[in-house]
Amino acid sequence: MKRNGEVVKSFKKMALDWKVPFPTNRYCNPGVSQPSKIEYHQHCVPSNLCKIIWTLTECHGVVPPQPYYEACVASGCSEEQPSTECQSLQTYAALCGLHGVCVPWRGLAGGRCEASCPRDQVYKPCGEAKRNTCFSRGVVMNTLPSQNSTPVFVEGCYCPDGKILLNDHDGICVSVCGCTAQDGSVKQPREAWEHDCQYCTCDEATLNISCFPRPCAKSPPINCTKEGFVRKIKPRLEDPCCTETVCECDIKTCIINKTGCDLGFQPVVAISEDGCCPVFSCIPKGVCVSEGVEFKPGAVVPKSSCENCVCTDEQDPVTQTNHIQCLPVQCQTTCQQGFRYVEEKGQCCSQCQQVACVANFPFGNVTIEV
């Protein structure tokens, strides 16, 4: 039977009349030849799936079962897959629904022709062809048109009782019609919410979302007077959607005077009290300096050969380096008999020089001047 109710003998003509655009389905190929009645009776045993057509007696009076049973057997023999037989049964059930006869055939297939639906929807073997959505409120699915006001049944996926499709493309079922928010949630008409620093509302008439930027209070004027601080616009800590002008340190704006330090001093870096710029200065190391050389406390400091000098822990308040303490060298001035200590000009310590000879006699030593 064709869509207009005309009964034809050709399976090919009947099938092509019901063809819908479905390029990924290989069963919609118009090149399928008419099945041979002799071949499948001789070499193929009809499956139990195809026999279900004979149990749908309530539809036999409006849709003759024999052509569809033969087509089901032919499909099963040529493909040897349950899916082809399920499609034949589905075609027969759809024609029954067109004539107002509900045939819940999938429950008789023993789980071999199960239908799957999206998460929010449920399968109904005999649903209404009219499917309301929040936007259309009355879209008629006219793939299978009703004739003479006869009710049309269409199997498929429907919203559970008490819910309605939000629109005709998302497949979302809702209890109350509303707007689909940015995060996928459904907002009720006249409901307001905040998203991405905007105030949004759901329009009751059109179910469209309208948003506008959330207003922010103006920041008071600010002057950055401390060294190294500049004005910057940043999100507010308590309200990141709004900005404020703050003074923030930017070391790139600092003028840094880095100078070398004298002997006995070392450089240090500090932050200026009235800003954020680094300030370099020199502080004493706590050492002695002599002849361009630093000496730690307790170290011997070479000076005049007539003095012994040592670096002390005491700091000179003028030079801020440690004080060097020097003491004269202690010379050995005691000489043996016949020798006398003679000072020499330019020498810190002189030597004992012989000035007499000493003769040893039994009665004692006698010194003889030379």
Residue 21, pLDDT above cutoff 90: no
- The reply to whether 235 falls in a domain is no
Do 50 and 139 share a domain, yes or no? no
- The reply to whether 165 falls in a domain is yes
Do 143 and 57 share a domain, yes or no? no
Tokens encoding 87: 């499609």
Do 316 and 354 share a domain, yes or no? no
Tokens encoding 101: 């006869």
0.85 surpassed by pTM:
no
* Chain Cα centroid distance, residue 233: 25
> What's the total number of domains in the chain?
4
Tokens encoding 175: 């209890």
Query: What pLDDT score was predicted for residue 368?
Result: 65
Q: At which of 165, 180, 213 does a domain end?
A: 213
Tokens encoding 94: 């759809």
Query: What pLDDT score was predicted for residue 286?
Result: 95
Do 52 and 102 share a domain, yes or no? yes
Instruction: Determine the longest span between alpha carbons in the chain, in angstroms.
Output: 175
- The reply to whether 18 falls in a domain is yes
Query: What pLDDT score was predicted for residue 41?
Result: 44
Q: Residue 40: which pLDDT band, with cuts at 50, 70 and 90?
A: very low
Domain holding 361, by residue range, is: 339-369
According to DSSP, the residues that pair with 213 across neighbouring strands are 198
CA dihedral 294, 297, 301, 307 (to 10 degrees): 150
- The reply to whether 58 falls in a domain is yes
CA distances from 369 to 225, 338, 343, 344, 363 (A): 93, 8, 20, 21, 19
Query: What pLDDT score was predicted for residue 241?
Result: 93
Q: At which of 41, 76, 108 does a domain end?
A: 108
Q: Percent of the chain beyond pLDDT 90? A: 40
Q: Residue 64: which pLDDT band, with cuts at 50, 70 and 90?
A: very high
Do 104 and 172 share a domain, yes or no? no
Per-residue pLDDT of 280-318, as tens digits, reads 999 999 999 999 999 999 999 998 778 899 999 999 999
Do residues 338 and 356 make contact, with C-beta atoms less than 8 angstroms apart? yes
Run of H or E including 38: helix 37-43
- The reply to whether 226 falls in a domain is no
- Name, of 10-14, 23-27, 98-102, the range with top average pLDDT: 98-102
Do 90 and 26 share a domain, yes or no? yes
- The reply to whether 279 falls in a domain is no
Per-residue pLDDT of 107-161, as tens digits, reads 999 888 998 888 889 999 998 887 888 877 544 444 444 455 678 999 999 999 9
**89 vs 84, residue with greater confidence:** 89
Do residues 280 and 269 make contact, with C-beta atoms less than 8 angstroms apart? yes
Distance CA 355, CA 338 (A): 6
Do 21 and 104 share a domain, yes or no? yes
Tokens encoding 177: 């019609």
Do 146 and 196 share a domain, yes or no? yes
Q: Residue 361: which pLDDT band, with cuts at 50, 70 and 90?
A: confident
Tokens encoding 96: 């029954």
CA distances from 307 to 287, 289, 313, 345 (A): 20, 17, 19, 16
Do 72 and 138 share a domain, yes or no? no
Q: Would you list the DSSP string of 150-216?
A: ---EEEEEEPPTT-EESSSSS--EESS--EE-TTSPEEPTT-EEEETTEEEEE-TTT--EEEEEPP-
- The reply to whether 272 falls in a domain is no
Do residues 269 and 257 make contact, with C-beta atoms less than 8 angstroms apart? no
Do 89 and 129 share a domain, yes or no? no
Count H helices and E strands in the chain, helices first: 6, 24
Q: Residue 345: which pLDDT band, with cuts at 50, 70 and 90?
A: confident
Query: Which value, in Å, is the radius of gyration of the alpha carbons in the chain?
Result: 56
Do 21 and 100 share a domain, yes or no? yes
Per-residue pLDDT of 151-197, as tens digits, reads 899 999 999 998 988 877 778 888 888 888 888 888 888 999 999 99
